[in-house]
Structure 1
Amino acid sequence: MHHIVSIIMPSFNCERFISETIRSVILQSYNNWELIIVDDCSNDNSINIITNFIRHDDRIKLFLNDKNEGPAVSRNKAIKYASGKYIAFLDTDDLWNADKLQIQISFMSNNNLAFSYSAYETIDEDGNILKMTVIPQERLDYFSLLKENQIGCLTAVYDQVMLNKHYMPLIRKRQDYGLWLSILKATPYAYRVPGVLAKYRIRKNSVSSNKIGLLIYNFKLFNEHEKLSFIKSAYYVGWNIFRKLK
């Protein structure tokens, strides 16, 4: 039984990496997918590159934002248009291993799972593999995720037939973290798929490289979005710091 997978990809000025990223989708051994790209008013060559791929593969769909609205809005639009049973996420600078979907969808289907993720390698801007491989816990629930976001966006897949569509909170950063917390209120656990299935690109000036800024966003996410008290929000930010330091 081959279920369609909808791959959610926000795009903004990503001409340097997007060809390789789209190619990593096209080369999947599991081929029943649609790639939904929402471009957030790129002013580089991104749209031409994407359009070129669409000419050769009608599983790729492109939607354009009228104004620059940020990755959360772009991802949510893509989720809205998604027709697949499974919703997967991939950013324009990350890569999937060729058997990623095959392994992950089989694992979810065979075990009747609603939400899964995997370990991933890290690469630098030039695609060289770095020493750090991120291996999350085998199983995560809402409270263990509050202590640390262990789910890499490029590895997450959820079943929208089982769970309905879940969207990203409209915050500037940590939107994916907010989405995983939302899903873990609808299903008790997320499970790690065996194997290292993707490559996460660490970029010098990326949003996620400002650690202090991210902790402030974590606090806001817990306090304003998850409606946790000031004390509880601070407690879980403390856990986040502790996990990063050890």
Structure 2
Amino acid sequence: MSLSPRISVIMPVFNGVRTIERAVASVRRQAFANWELIAIDDGSSDGSGRILARLACEEDRIQIISNEINSGASAARNRGLRSASGDVITYLDCDDEYYEGFFGLVDRFSDRADVLVFGYDYVNDDAEGSPVSTWDPTPYRGLLFSRNLMTPLGVAHRRTLLADKEAFDENLWISEDWDLWKRMARAGSEFLYLPFRSGLYHIRADSLTRAPRITRRQEATYQSRWQAGETLYPSSEVCIPHSAIQRVAFASPYSCISRGANLPAAGMYLLWLLRSEGIDGQAFGTTYLDGTAWVEIEDVQAGLGLPHRTERAVLPPFFADVNYSVYQTIPVTTLKRHLAQTGTATEEYLDFIIAAFFKQFVGNYRPDCVVTHGDGELSKSYVNIAKYYDIPVVILLDEPGARPLDILNGADYLVTFSESKRDLFWKQHQVACHALPIPEQHLSPERGRPDARIRQILDFFRGIRRQSGPSFTPS
């Protein structure tokens, strides 16, 4: 075995007796021979360790590390990384497999970027006769911060990127790989998307992705941090400096100029409090008033005595009437719901157009944080757009009804309005909220500014950072 392998393969194993040999065989058949495979037996109870020991006896480029108890995928990978000596790191789960020639491609391109991103094929092992499909992340390269574009199977990176730094976040129970890719990007690493496939990704019902497991240490950490009123993830590596929290945007699927709807009123009062303490705020909404009906926003503004103007805005190929006003000292941009669009548009298509104008709003305003609410498609679009710009997202929650994971998964913080509701969200859904004293109904600024309320809200927003994972655990 070479004293200095070019490629180090990190393979965590947990009860993989049925697939280990296939995975290892895909490494051994690589024509590029200067590699090492570090397999971490993460507390398996099915005989995986014995298979690994036999394979290591057959192949001196295989190194085995054994954990007595299951520590989770992140901890297992990190232990393997600490033993790696190759110039380039690749990853292989014990139920997946590389294609022949993959290591040759890694060696060929590894000097051209810090991180190489490959496509891969995938197949559903649980569905007999399932076809093999292909995932190519290249067309979506600009969406790294808003969605997980690649699995570890499709990534190779320089080992030096992890020198003296935290690799996989061991507190995470899901998307720990995505968290690492984002941190690499924020640190300035160069990503190169290649038109090649790394291997075959096997989808199985008992895989970590589809059946995530929480270790005892993770569960204890989540419980203690929730009880202390903190976020679930203690890492502050990507903390935004306090001085950087200068602009907060509130985005509502409803009208922001409303005296009735709880969450829009709460969001606007929140902006008013922050603005009164020197943090700028702007709001973006629609003409859907109080979540009940579409209205002529100018009539509402006239009734409240608000100055306003409406202009025709063009965002090719779309155009719409955009209303501008100031409500409770907050600049409000309202996209009129009856968009000037040829033909009849569906609700989904109208939401798409609104989201396109919101993206322009965010791109121009560049807030340091986006606050939103709701669980519909438009609210999801607000979250995805904020994440496109790598902006932290705060979601306001009212009552703990169904658990809308699609939108919660994109939030950095979840906020509700009392300790009792915070308890309900945790007990019913394992959703970790912060309780902030924001009024749920309209409250005019003239009614005063409780100092304790301001201090608590300001402290929360000044401590905002991009979170490494979702604010919930598997129910």
**Gaps (5+ residues) in structure 2?**
213-230, 241-368, 373-379, 389-405, 408-475
SS in 2 for 1:147: coil
Task: Give the deviation of 1:237 after TM superposition.
Answer: 8.7
User: Equivalent residue for 2:383?
Assistant: 235
Tell me the amino acid that sits aligned with residue 60 of structure 1: I
- Show the 5 A alignment for 1:49-198: 49-109=51-111, 111=112, 113-125=113-125, 130-137=131-138, 140=141, 144-161=143-160, 164=163, 167-170=167-170, 171-198=172-199
Bigger radius of gyration among the two: 2
Q: Distance in 2 between matches of 1:47 and 1:181?
A: 33
Task: Give the deviation of 1:53 after TM superposition.
Answer: 0.8
Indicate how the Cα distance of structure 1 residues 74 and 125 shifts in structure 2: closer, same or farther if over 3 A, else same: same
Task: Give the deviation of 1:155 after TM superposition.
Answer: 1.6
1:5 aligned onto 2:7: yes
Q: Distance in 1 between matches of 2:101 and 2:204?
A: 25
Task: Give the deviation of 1:220 after TM superposition.
Answer: 7.0
Indicate how the Cα distance of structure 1 residues 207 and 61 shifts in structure 2: closer, same or farther if over 3 A, else same: closer
Contact 2:5 2:85 in 1 (8 A): no
Most deviating of 191-200 and 118-127: 118-127
| Structure ranking higher on relative contact order (CA contacts 8 Å, 6+ apart) | 1
Indicate how the Cα distance of structure 1 residues 169 and 86 shifts in structure 2: closer, same or farther if over 3 A, else same: same
Contact 2:115 2:189 in 1 (8 A): no
Contact 1:39 1:47 in 2 (8 A): yes
Contact 1:114 1:163 in 2 (8 A): no
Task: Give the deviation of 1:151 after TM superposition.
Answer: 1.6
Q: Distance in 2 between matches of 1:202 and 1:100?
A: 20
Number of residues of Structure 1 aligned to a counterpart in Structure 2? 229
Q: Distance in 1 between matches of 2:121 and 2:385?
A: 25
Q: Distance in 2 between matches of 1:208 and 1:63?
A: 23
User: Equivalent residue for 1:215?
Assistant: none
SS in 1 for 2:138: coil
Runs of 4+ in 1 over 4 A off after TM superposition: 126-129, 223-230, 237-242
User: Equivalent residue for 1:46?
Assistant: 48
Contact 1:138 1:192 in 2 (8 A): no
Task: Give the deviation of 1:64 after TM superposition.
Answer: 0.8
**What's the TM-score once normalised by structure 2's chain length?**
0.44
Q: RMSD value over aligned CA atoms? A: 3.2
Indicate how the Cα distance of structure 1 residues 206 and 66 shifts in structure 2: closer, same or farther if over 3 A, else same: closer
SS in 1 for 2:371: helix
User: Equivalent residue for 1:214?
Assistant: none
Q: Distance in 2 between matches of 1:200 and 1:150?
A: 14
**Gaps (5+ residues) in structure 1?**
212-218
Tell me the amino acid that sits aligned with residue 121 of structure 1: D
Task: Give the deviation of 1:50 after TM superposition.
Answer: 0.8
Task: Give the deviation of 1:40 after TM superposition.
Answer: 1.0
